[in-house]
């Protein structure tokens, strides 16, 4: 496994070098909207401590991240009027990981929703901002 790259896009978001639509932040984690959402309300949770993925993360970091995943998932379901959610997490390129900073995808879903592929253009910033507002309000 390759070492963690402190210049990956999520590390740049944490440093404020790239803008994001923040949903939640605490001392150890940061949650924000995915710019290529697979469903409305698709957000990400990352640790502030650099880890390439779940395989090299400190167990204490994982504990904090999963607590934030649970908190944000509940808010995403409520804020987006969903009935449930998918939590996705990938480890290394063969498994689908494309950004090599530990992260969890939260996809709020209703019965009959279709999940789009995680490719293509970026979503409209106004839509992402509105979805982030709805999720923050449900926290």
User: Which residues on adjacent β-strands are paired with residue 87?
Assistant: 106
Q: Where are the alpha helices (DSSP H) in 8-124?
A: 9-14, 59-79
Which among 40, 26, 111 has a CA at the least distance from the CA of 69?
26
- Give how far Cα 65 sits from Cα of 27, 118, 122, Å: 11, 22, 25
| Catalytic sites, residue numbers | 103
Burial pattern 36-69, b for ≥16 Cβ within 10 A else e, equals ebbbbbbbbbbbbbbbbbbeebeeebeebbeebb
**Looking at 1-139, which runs of residues are DSSP E strands?**
22-25, 29-33, 43-47, 84-88, 104-109
């Amino acid at each position: 496994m390759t070492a963690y790259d402190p210049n990956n896009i999520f590390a740049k978001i944490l440093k404020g070098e790239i803008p994001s639509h923040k949903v939640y932040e605490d001392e150890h984690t940061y949650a924000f909207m995915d710019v290529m959402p697979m469903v409305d309300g698709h957000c990400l949770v990352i640790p502030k401590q650099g880890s390439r993925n779940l395989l090299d993360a400190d167990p204490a970091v994982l504990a904090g991240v999963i607590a934030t995943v649970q908190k944000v998932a509940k808010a995403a379901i409520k804020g987006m009027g969903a009935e449930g959610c998918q939590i996705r997490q990938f480890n290394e390129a063969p498994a689908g990981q494309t950004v090599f900073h530990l992260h969890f995808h939260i996809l709020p879903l209703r019965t009959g929703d279709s999940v789009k592929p995680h490719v293509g253009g970026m979503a409209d910033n106004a839509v992402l901002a509105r979805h982030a507002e709805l999720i923050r309000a449900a926290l």
